[in-house]
Amino acid sequence: MSRVVYVDQERKTKLTEDPETVDHPVLAFFLDYWNAKRGTAELPAPASFTPREVRSNLQWVSLVDVLPPAEGEFRYRLVGTRVADYFLGDGTGKTVREAFADADAGFVEGAIWLMRRTCELKRPLQLAGPSSRWNKIYFPSFDNLYLPYASDGCTVDRIVTVFTFDRNSLNGRTAVSMAS
């Protein structure tokens, strides 16, 4: 059952736990795909995520491995080309902290919190956020899903994140100044 858990009207940020539906067509495709792979199980198995079945949308996907709890970290197994374009780099093979070593600490801890929350809930999360600027670089508004997968059917060991944005808004973004 969908539950909006956080809304910041001023910043236009919204976090929804277990969304039943989503508006963005790419996110809707993946939410339907996740539910179909899950069937009657609590969670789908990572092996059920088949890249060739999602080929046309793979550019929006990051596959994230959940590392042992003692490490409290997540590692990017694969980062789609659109996601790498948005974040100005490909974090494939890196932990979240390594991939965003130069980012604001609050951003990094927020990303880790979202993945932890996905593991705890064992249900999808949807986060939509506004455009922003960091180090004089423009980052367009986004809408994404965190989809949990479990090899044993219970303990989340992989998260498929689907990160969407208006890719046309990336044109010339490094030229945008903080003053604008």
Q: Which two tokens stand for residue 164?
A: 């969407």
Q: What is the pTM of this model?
A: 0.88
Q: What class does CATH assign to 3-175?
A: alpha beta
- Within 8 A by CB and 6+ apart from 121, the residues are 17, 18, 148
Please state, in angstroms and rounded to a whole number, the distance separating the CA atoms of residues 116 and 110. Answer: 10
Q: Show pLDDT as tens, one digit a residue, over the chain (180 residues).
A: 666 665 555 667 899 999 999 999 999 999 999 999 999 999 999 999 999 999 999 999 999 999 988 788 999 999 999 999 888 889 999 999 999 998 888 889 999 999 999 999 999 999 999 888 777 778 888 999 999 999 999 999 999 999 999 888 777 665 433 333
- How many Cβ atoms sit within 10 Å of the Cβ of residue 27? 24
* Domain residue spans of the chain: 3-175
